[in-house]
Chain A
Amino acid sequence: MSNASNIQKLFNSPLVCVNVGPKLFGEALEKQNVKVVQVDWKPVAGGDKKMQELLNELGGF
């Protein structure tokens, strides 16, 4: 699919949103009849920076 049509496809499709972060933003979208799924995001490795860097080098998180 060409790059331009990726965006046009979004404009022509019903929105289905993955909400990463505070639920209130997802709830606001749901009130507007957007389908929303929630990701309960937490910092990888409990926020341990060194461990994150290591995991990132091993293939991303």
Chain B
Amino acid sequence: MDSLASLSMMTVLMDQEGIQNAYAGMASKTTKNIIAELGLMTAEIEQAREEDLVISARAQSREVFDRALEEIDKIDDQFQGTKFQTFNTIDSAVATVPEANICSISVPGEYACEVTKHALNQGLHCVVFSANVPLEKEREMKELAKQKGLLCMGPDCGVANINGAAFVLSSINNRGPFGIVGASGCGIQHVAAMLHEMGSGVTQTIGTGGKDLTQVVGGISFLMGIDALENNPDTKYIILISRKPDEKVLDKIIQRIKGCKKPVIACLMGADEDKVRTSGAIWAENLDMCGVEALKIIKKEYTFESEALLDQWAEEAVRGMCPEQKYVRGVFAGGTYCDEAMKTMQEVIGGIHSNCPLRPELMLENSYVSVGNTVIDSGEEEFTLGKPHPALDPNVRLPLIEKEGDDPQTAVILLDLILCPPEHIDPAGVTIKAIKAATDKACARGGKIAVVASVLGTDADFQNANLQREELCNAGVYVCKTNRQAAKLAAKIVKLRNGEQNI
């Protein structure tokens, strides 16, 4: 059973009347940790082997549990069945369906290189979601792709939107004049969603995987992506997005931008601004500004919540909190968003502890135990080993959200919701259960926790980003237009709380 099937199982379980808490998954160490955290551990589960499927739930009665299991059996049947034409190998698939032109690959990282090379040798462009591929292997597959003139998006590529189709974790976007090449899936999705919201859109978004701009990989896919968009007549403007590139690779990119015939907007976060500007590209300091600058080109103005409004929300949010409530606790699905939130907040409230901190001294000793102001990336291996990514399965981070309610020092919980086609149809609804559990605990202590969130997605996504935002708003969550805005609000709340402490 793949981890995505366990996702559906958990959703079905939690939807059953009389089931208060539940977890399903292959009995990995991580699954056992989460089950223990949820208080659902039994001696049988302790003994379960990694290949065993465990389903643990707190049910009102045995009858309720049995009924839930019957519903799960139906899901299991659904996952066993298939409606696709199915093959045992890529070769046999291509031999029977010669018009196949792209391959979506999500196999364990250790096999990704061989499978991708196989697909490339069959003439298929590749979107490779598999992660944990050694850099040398990544270079090997990308060099083969380059030699064959095929796109190799990934490994670790969560976002690619080709010919209007959203792959893996991409949002569904309108088509429009912008082409995006990005080494940050979350970043691509963010900017594309801003374009979509303003009635524009994308020709193609080419995700390269986050390691493409390392010295070892050398930006092979990034540079091919720029070529592809420059040669594509429908693409009028090119947007480049990445976290900090290797300096030598950055030099190559700058040279390439200099020679590019189309206007380029560059959001290379952490790179030297003056150096990037020498390329002739429009500089964007962060993802929000990248969307703003792109929209400026087509004479559209994107507006965010004003500082005054955020201040007003912060003041409202802190009313009724207990004296000891003073910290932010962020639980993120997106790595880039986790980074962005820490950078935004540290300017106001100082260093943020994390399992992926901005500075090594801020590393959490235990990712499951928050200290002071803490933000965790729940997509990291300690949370996802043997399980789906939290952007696919909103259930993964529920225990992490809920446990912050146990700490009397939690003042604000900061979240991101990232929509994608294979995800649960109502991630907000699922997450609200954990939010409510956390906030109820604070209420019981006579206080109140503020919850701040942003939703990344579009109204074309199956979940409809606007409906998801509305649902969160109705549950009392402060929903900001972007992740950066949400982080700003959370920092304002913490600052107010600490101001009160000093009085």
A residues adjacent to B (C-beta < 8 A): 1-11, 13-32, 34-41, 43, 56, 60-61
The answer for the CA separation of A60 and B106 in the assembled complex, in Å, is 19
Contacts A36-B84, A39-B93, A40-B86 given; indicate if A20 touches B105 (C-beta within 8 A): yes
B129 touches A (CB below 8 Å)? yes
B435 touches A (CB below 8 Å)? no
- CB contacts under 8 Å to A, within B127-158, are 129-130, 146, 148-151
**Chain B contact residues, majority secondary structure:** mixed
Q: Is the CB of B86 within 8 A of A7?
A: no
What number of B residues sit within 8 Å (CB to CB) of A?
62
Chain B residues, CB < 8 A from A20: 90, 103-107, 115, 119
Chain A residues, CB < 8 A from B125: 7, 10
Q: Is the CB of B150 within 8 A of A37?
A: no
Closest approach, in angstroms, between the C-beta of A40 and any C-beta of chain B?
6
Q: Is the CB of A32 within 8 A of B124?
A: no
Contacts A3-B149, A43-B111 given; indicate if A32 touches B421 (C-beta within 8 A): yes
The answer for the CA separation of A29 and B241 in the assembled complex, in Å, is 24
Chain A residues, CB < 8 A from B114: 56, 60-61
The answer for the CA separation of A40 and B106 in the assembled complex, in Å, is 11
Q: Is the CB of B97 within 8 A of A16?
A: yes
Residue of chain B at shortest CB distance from A43: B111
Chain A residues, CB < 8 A from B227: 4, 7
B166 touches A (CB below 8 Å)? yes
Kindly count the residue-residue contacts between A and B in the assembled complex, taking CB atoms under 8 Å apart: 160
Chain A residues, CB < 8 A from B99: 13-14, 16
Q: Is the CB of B149 within 8 A of A4?
A: yes
Residue of chain B at shortest CB distance from A56: B114
**Chain A contact residues, majority secondary structure:** mixed
Chain B residues, CB < 8 A from A25: 104, 106, 129, 167-168, 422
Q: Is the CB of A39 within 8 A of B165?
A: no
Q: Is the CB of B82 within 8 A of A10?
A: no
Residue of chain A at shortest CB distance from B97: A37
The answer for the CA separation of A7 and B172 in the assembled complex, in Å, is 21
Chain B residues, CB < 8 A from A32: 164-166, 172, 421
Q: Is the CB of B88 within 8 A of A1?
A: no
Q: Is the CB of A6 within 8 A of B148?
A: yes
* Among B124, B149, B231, contact of A18 (Cβ-Cβ < 8 Å): B124
Residue of chain A at shortest CB distance from B103: A18
Assuming A24-B422, A35-B97, what are 17 further A-B pairs, CB within 8 angstroms? A3-B148, A6-B150, A10-B125, A13-B101, A14-B163, A18-B119, A21-B104, A25-B129, A25-B168, A31-B462, A32-B165, A32-B421, A36-B84, A38-B86, A39-B87, A39-B89, A61-B114
